[in-house]
Amino acid sequence: MATINLGAIKFNWKGAYNSGTSYAVDDVVSSGGNSYVCIQAHSNQAVGNATAYWNIMSSAGTNGTNGNNGTDVGTTITTQGDILYRDGSGLARLPAGTSGQVLKTGGSGANPSWGTDAGGSILAVSHKSTGDTYDISTQNRTSNYTFTGNSYEISALTIAMTPSASTSKFMIQLHLQGGHESSYVGQGWLTYQVAGGTEYAIASSGTRGLTFRYDGADFGSSNAGSPSTACCVVASPATASAVTFRVRLATANSGHSWMINRSFNGATDTDDGGYMLSTMTVFELAGANSTVVNTNTNNTKT
């Protein structure tokens, strides 16, 4: 009976190429991230001699001129958390970033990188409101009516916040339900103070500088009407310490008061719809995400 040599009926995996090993046809080895199949029995014939003794079976990729110079993924990414990406010439490793970082793209033609998540522009919000009624006759009659110690603080609206970074800015929104009696003028300031230091008012100028004012409301009857004062300013205290924000009021004549949440004779006009509410809200803004063109003057309290 004739004898038929069937040869190998499957490929024989031999692991990494070894120059001291004798290889038979259909033996398969790995080298440099590629796989090679033996096509002629031999020993000590490197896989680089592929045309005579080896054929390439699979390649990790080409980054040379001979078509079988691949990148071994297993040797490119070596550590838990590594990310494989392609740079300008081939596969590359991006090591894991630090805890809390996010993966950022530099756009087309740029490599990815790790970076800090800046989050949104609003980092924190603090809000206070009061329905208390106020008859404020504290007088400020200085030569230029700028911010002085003779300024009443509505403490129910005072807000203290500690910024997350010294670059943070603060947007202060005030809405007072009330106004000043018709004679003279009601003066108002939004102020900030860093960790018990100097208190500054955000004012229009250094001469007769106010944040807001009210003049001419009719509080002569029990009808409280619907007077209101609203403003919004931004402060840049440049600190990581606690900052206190206040609303302060004064009048040019103690006989003519600010009236908050009430009328001149004390009525709150509840029979026509209930009590009024005054509010103040402070937003901490990320400095890098906030563009503020500030022409205000910071007046020091005297």
Domains of the chain, by residue range, sit at 12-58, 75-115, 122-300
Q: What is the 3-state secondary structure (H, E, C) of 21-86?
A: CEECCCEEEEECCEEEEECCCEECCCCCCCCCCEEEEECCCCCCCCCCCCCCHHHHCCCCCCEEEE
| pLDDT score of 67 | 44
Written as six digits, the tokens of 210 are: 């106010």
Domain 12-58, architecture per CATH: Ribbon (2.10)
CATH number of 122-300: 2.60.120.1340
The tens digit of pLDDT for each residue in 8-46 reads: 568 899 999 999 999 999 999 998 878 999 999 999 999
The tens digit of pLDDT for each residue in 150-177 reads: 789 999 999 999 999 999 999 999 999 8
| pLDDT score of 229 | 87
Written as six digits, the tokens of 255 are: 């006989």
- pLDDT under 50 in the chain at which residues? 63-69, 302
Residue 203, classed as helix, strand or coil, is strand
| pLDDT score of 219 | 57
The CA distances from residue 116 to 159, 197, 283, 291, in Å, are 29, 32, 21, 20
| pLDDT score of 302 | 44
Other residues' Cβ atoms within 10 Å of the Cβ of residue 1: 3
